[in-house]
Amino acid sequence: GDSVTQMEGPVTLSEEAFLTINCTYTATGYPSLFWYVQYPGEGLQLLLKATKADDKGSNKGFEATYRKETTSFHLEKGSVQVSDSAVYFCALSERTGTASKLTFGTGTRLQVTL
């Protein structure tokens, strides 16, 4: 079945550091790929998405490129801020039958310090 593997956290960075959170996936077809973020005390929010190979999703300075050849969707940001501290989830969605449900990774907690 479908699965998503992402790097374990927590990841602790100083403000303005470069961020990479690795994500790889296994899927039988051609999934859409997502990064969701969960800020403290809030619900899951879509951060960015990519729907086909070589697409780049971007939002709030974060980027991720859909790499079909390496089945990866790594999240990057050039300069993190304290306000980026949150839990980040990589996910895929592959239409199976009549449903289009999300399969999530286990999440990576990011802590950014001054």
Partner 1 sequence: GAGVSQTPSNKVTEKGKYVELRCDPISGHTALYWYRQSLGQGPEFLIYFQGTGAADDSGLPNDRFFAVRPEGSVSTLKIQRTERGDSAVYLCASSFSDTPNTEAFFGQGTRLTVV
* Residue 15 CB coordination number (10 Å): 13
As a dihedral over the C-alpha atoms of residue 77, residue 64, residue 103, residue 89, rounded to 10 degrees, the angle is 0
Query: What mask, x for binding partner 1 by CB under 8 A, covers residues 64 to 93?
Result: -------------------------x-x-x
At 84 the three-state DSSP class reads helix
Binding of partner 1 by 11 (CB under 8 A):
no
Binding of partner 1 by 100 (CB under 8 A):
yes
Please report, as ranges, the residues that interact with partner 1 according to CB under 8 A. Answer: 4, 31-32, 36, 42-46, 49, 51, 89, 91, 93-107
